[in-house]
Structure 1
């Protein structure tokens, strides 16, 4: 369980294909606090630490994960958002995030809003995921509030702190991002679909 509050950034140091799996090595300033078997979210994807070597740790993504996320587009030197699993009893500063990405989206526009930024995204509606204005959405593991919601589009406003401390600063038009839709909203949508 995560909150969507990005704790640190990591740099991809190595990508190694092993059959259908991808071993991802990440250099991070929180590596020294990690341990083998620990869960950590990478751009919102919950992965298990399998190896630690100095300030670099390694996680493995299986084909199912690669099919549903942007992890298969990673390149050496790229920056990823990192968050360790929340501790029981901690504040829930973001919203309930499972670390299970629902699908990807494409960044369609970035607007400088004189002190903040508005990022717009488009996603495939065939998976029946929805956003609502003022609802929660997780983009690359970052807990955000939807400011505009369309049938297959939404926008989020990013404050300077979030911009500087996440990989949003690396986004451009066409960037593929991971989305995790609000878990409560997903249950309501499923119930409504079954009700009809």
Structure 2
């Protein structure tokens, strides 16, 4: 389980395809603290560390076809930034919200507005999947715990402070970019229960 508080930015340094899988080699400040078989969130996708390179300063993860179909991980290119978060420790502070690392779907950035000190991003997604947002509720965008504003049936906005821009890959997101969405777990259970009535 994660909290959506990004620890560091990693950089994609190498990509290898093997059958339907893609291996990503990520260089980050915390790569040398990771262990084989450890679960780490990469842009909100829980991936397992499978190997290391360059004196453990680069870690390797593998995305399988299911992950590539449900997320934007397959769009990564060498040089791209990746939001990285290790699993929450049991006695840690819960600064974000419950994030499982299971991406529900992708969304497209349809607006990025500079508010002279902050930014307002608007993302549109396929509403036929029945995922919902609520005003002032939580959502994970590329693994970042954010607060929803202007919740609508197929879109929502998030207001971003300069610190978040500087320390996450939202700095690379422009109109037309895709992002990973994980909707609030409580909202998903409520929607499922109501749908079964």
Whether the TM-score (by the shorter chain) exceeds 0.5 is yes
1:126 Cα deviation after fit:
1.4
Show the counterpart of 1:110.
Answer: 112
Q: Distance in 2 between matches of 1:194 and 1:115?
A: 44
Give the whole-Å Cα distance in 2 for the aligned partners of 1:100 and 1:128: 16
Q: Which ranges of structure 2 fall in alignment gaps of 5 or more residues?
A: none
The residue correspondences of 1:38-77 to structure 2 (distance < 5 A) are 38-53=38-53, 54=55, 55-77=57-79
User: Partner residue of 2:11?
Assistant: 11
2 CA distance for matches of 1:59 and 1:163?
A: 25
1:30 partnered with 2:30: yes
Which residue number corresponds to residue 122 of structure 2? 120
Q: Which residue of 2 aligns with 1:96?
A: 98
- State the distance in 2 between where 1:186 and 1:142 align: 18
For residues 148 and 84 of structure 1, what CA distance do their matches in structure 2 show? 30
**Residue correspondences, number:** 195
Q: What TM-score comes out, normalization by structure 2 length?
A: 0.98
Distance of 1:18 and 1:56 partners within structure 2: 19
1:113 Cα deviation after fit: 1.2
- Report what 1:180 is aligned to: 182
Structure 1, unaligned stretches of length 5 or more?
A: none
Query: Matched residues in 1 for 2:77 and 2:58: separation?
Result: 16
**Which ranges of 4 or more aligned residues in structure 1 deviate by more than 3 Å?**
none
Deviation at 1:114, TM superposition (A): 1.8
Q: Deviations over 1:59-107 (max 9, x none)?
A: 0111000000001111011111000011011111000000000000000
The counterpart of 1:192, out of the listed 156, 171, 194, is 194
Cα root mean square deviation, aligned = 0.6
Tell me the CA shift for residue 32 of structure 1: 1.1
